[in-house]
Structure 1
Amino acid sequence: MLIFEFLWITSTISSFFSLSEKLPANFTPKVLPAKVSTNLGKFVSKHRQFVLPQGKVLSTTLLPTRFLRIDWHNNDSGTNIEKPRNSQKQTVKKSKKELCSAGQEIASQQPILRKSSGWTSGTIINSSSPSPDFFTHKILRSLQDFFRFTSPIEQNFISASLPVVVVHRDQSNYEVWVNNSLVATLPTEKAAKLMQQRLTNLAKLPSLDANQLRPALVDGIPALMAGNRFLWGIEKQISQRFHKTGELLAIEWINNLRSAFKAPTLTLVEGQKEMYGVSPSSKKLSGIASWYGGYFHGRLTANGEIYDQDELTVAHKTLPFNTYLQVKNLQSGKSVIVRVNDRGPYIEPRSLDLSRVAARCLGSEIAGVVPYEAVILQSSQPKMTLKASTLTKAKPKPVRQLALVSEF
């Protein structure tokens, strides 16, 4: 009986709204949606009497407004994603500043004007996996859709029920948001939905420790990791789309994810040490460092690779190829880890020739030539792989490898 009474009330309200839509423009009341939503919040929480068509008088209280914010679709209470306590005052968090962005030295001296729009300004793609709903759950979900107004009410309902969302901005631009924090931008809807599914599964882990979120190299590809669980690999086409090395993207996205789960972010060097699995040795060097790009971009390096000025590499006259160096700019105090893949420089007294993006990370792109100190790094962690077959292959010189968990 209560169900029919409740449906009669909602149908009456629905008829009122549909009637107002069919009225001529000069008869339509000028009522702001925000005012309607405020009055609705007061209306649904009060004790009232209703007269039914049969003449009976019922005394009842409509559902409180917080009842409409419950996510009846998700029965899992094990997630440790924090729900917003005071959603009226909640603001959308911006993603962290990009690492080693172009023109960083100039931008730091001038005010930056950016129009930051939250995820609610885009088209939200609901890719939740299909699961059987109870009849009562379907009714309550429909009520949530019925009482959906413009911001801030609409934003509160969505943020409470969709902690991980995909937002479609424009063509080839799909953003993945976690707890109102932008984590990553992907070029296809399929990839964005897959990341959404993995992050949703990650959030449901009862033993999730956000401090274990870290970047890594998995089979040579920059990746996002949760301990030894593989989350996402950044392929070459994604990094080329952003005109940025995959290593920097992996650290940025991990920092965005750590911020979304209320964990401290990593510095550039901390993220690189986690990714490359290296630690400092006792060997150091110093001198003058320059950088090269432009004319050499796309040409062969001394070790046979194609030179990419957007990769974190360096040229040195004698150090073995694939040696990692932690280089510090003595003028700016900034540091970055680079890998030796070329020979040079051959202009005295320079002893290091950095890639363009490495110079940006050090703050020496404009200066061109700066004094430096460097520490030679050594491998301290096994290489990571998702290919279990590589662990059984016989090799003359065995290399330590760590098999990863690829699925949640």
Structure 2
Amino acid sequence: MLFFEFLWITSTISSFFSLSEKLPANLTPKVLPAKVSNNLGKFVSKHRPLFVVPKQPGKVWSTTLLPTRFLRIDWHNNDNKTNLEQSQNSPRQTVKKSKKELCSAGQEVAPQQPVFRTSSGWKSGTIINSSSANQDFFTQKILRSLQDFFRFTSPLEQNFMSAASPVVVVHRDRNNYEVWVNNRLVATLPTEAAAKSMQQRLTNLAKLPNLDANQLRPALVDGIPALMAGNRFLWGIEKQISERFHKTGELLAIEWINNLRSAFKAPTLTLVEGQKEMYGVSPSSRKLSGLASWYGGYFHGRLTANGEIYNQDELTVAHKSLPFNTYLQVKNLQTGKAVIVRVNDRGPYIEPRSLDLSRIAARCLGSEIAGVVPYEAVILQSNQPKMTLKASTLTKAKPKPVRQLALVSEF
């Protein structure tokens, strides 16, 4: 019926203009085409009877144009009525990106804009749908065909907005698979297998009836930065992933957890709050102060005093006497920024400096350009047991057993 009404309207308009062109100038109706086009929308949007051609049986047909929101309904979803009612009062949702990137070299706040939209069009990308047991009915396929016919938007946007699952994977290019939750980018992974694995775990997480997004937190599990939901293990960030982004796994874990918390409408964590959750530490009464410098470049890849390989992209610090693996919460007195670092080296040996930060730690403090800044530091102490997924470590007999927390990995 909609198709026949569309043909009737277009034929009427074309007949009107063709007739006006053939009439003499003095008989031409004084109606401007612009005026007709402006009133056309009001005409077709009203509910009005549509009569058949004269000299035929006098049946009266009644029709109403479908609203545009009808063509945007995801008929695969069981909550279609709810979505239709909400679309009248709620603004159109746009795809959001994380506002902050921790310790970035450039600006900390990224511009708010739809991820898929650019000045030259839509970015390339492919939605990788997870396997689903639900099949479309025949009527749903017809309605989807109507959507495809009347919506002249990107196929990527159509697939993205009509995805049945709140967790989708977008393949941008080689070694770039993005995991999205509720229209928010959560993480970027190098392989499709890894992205699908995270997608499955986050999908199971989203299905929990009593999900508390405030329980989403970063942690160290068997020494690997990980995403946690309470005591449930979600995902571990292996070294090859952090090396690909040239960023420490601790920072990635906090960023991804903040993205996930935002996707579930929970407040995000600051850098220090995320680090305290991850390392399981709390402030002590011991404090330090003085001047802090940073080192990198020439020392990158060399041995540190405790036998580790120095990595300027890890949150570490050198001190002359503090025990190795001591955590310090350092605050830049000039910028007010703070970061937690771990002692793994000795130095500095240039007076009056008392701390030598890694490059990424200096970047987090905003002292990378200044070089040397005044600081205050608090020595942190452990307040949580170590976390592990290896059951064998819990059964080994030890003279002084270390407190360990066994995790659940049901996702």
What's 2:125 paired with?
123
Query: Can you list the C-alpha shifts for 1:109-168, whole angstroms capped at 9, x where unaligned?
Result: xx988986328744232332231537xx35414532452223389847742544222111
What's 1:314 paired with?
317
Contact kept in structure 2, 1:122 and 1:167, CA below 8 Å? no
What's 2:17 paired with?
none
Inter-partner Cα distance in structure 1 for 2:87 and 2:63? 30
Inter-partner Cα distance in structure 1 for 2:155 and 2:96? 18
The one-letter code sitting in structure 1 at the alignment partner of 2:132 is P
Contact kept in structure 1, 2:248 and 2:313, CA below 8 Å? yes
What's 2:34 paired with?
none
- CA separation of 1:129 and 1:84: change in aligned 2, threshold 3 A: farther
The one-letter code sitting in structure 2 at the alignment partner of 1:117 is V
> Where do residues 8-407 of structure 1 align in structure 2 (5 Å cutoff)?
71=74, 73=76, 89-102=92-105, 104=106, 107=107, 117-118=115-116, 121-133=123-135, 137-141=137-141, 143-148=143-148, 149-151=151-153, 155=157, 158-162=160-164, 163-407=166-410
Inter-partner Cα distance in structure 2 for 1:225 and 1:143? 40
Shift of 1:68: 5.8
SS of residue matched to 1:279: strand
Query: Can you list the C-alpha shifts for 1:217-261, whole angstroms capped at 9, x where unaligned?
Result: 111111111111111111111111110000001111111111111
The one-letter code sitting in structure 2 at the alignment partner of 1:195 is M
What are the ranges of 5 or more consecutive residues in structure 1 without an aligned counterpart?
1-5, 14-38, 78-82
Shift of 1:91: 2.3
Shift of 1:406: 1.3
- CA separation of 1:366 and 1:261: change in aligned 2, threshold 3 A: same
Normalising by the residue count of structure 1, what TM-score does the alignment of the two structures yield? 0.77
The one-letter code sitting in structure 2 at the alignment partner of 1:118 is F
What's 1:25 paired with?
none
Shift of 1:65: 6.3
Shift of 1:202: 1.1
The one-letter code sitting in structure 2 at the alignment partner of 1:361 is C
Inter-partner Cα distance in structure 2 for 1:49 and 1:126? 48
Contact kept in structure 2, 1:47 and 1:62, CA below 8 Å? no
Greater Cα shift, 320-329 or 125-134? 125-134
Higher relative contact order (CA 8 A, sep 6+): 1
Contact kept in structure 1, 2:232 and 2:407, CA below 8 Å? yes
CA RMSD in angstroms, aligned pairs only = 3.6
What are the ranges of 5 or more consecutive residues in structure 2 without an aligned counterpart?
6-40, 81-85
Shift of 1:214: 0.8
Contact kept in structure 2, 1:49 and 1:60, CA below 8 Å? no
Normalising by the residue count of structure 2, what TM-score does the alignment of the two structures yield? 0.77
Shift of 1:288: 1.1
The one-letter code sitting in structure 1 at the alignment partner of 2:147 is F
Inter-partner Cα distance in structure 1 for 2:272 and 2:218? 12
Shift of 1:70: 5.3
Contact kept in structure 1, 2:75 and 2:143, CA below 8 Å? no
SS of residue matched to 2:153: coil
SS of residue matched to 1:147: helix
Give the fraction of aligned pairs with identical amino acids, expressed as a percent.
Answer: 76
Greater Cα shift, 349-358 or 178-187? 178-187
Contact kept in structure 1, 2:328 and 2:340, CA below 8 Å? yes
- CA separation of 1:61 and 1:381: change in aligned 2, threshold 3 A: same
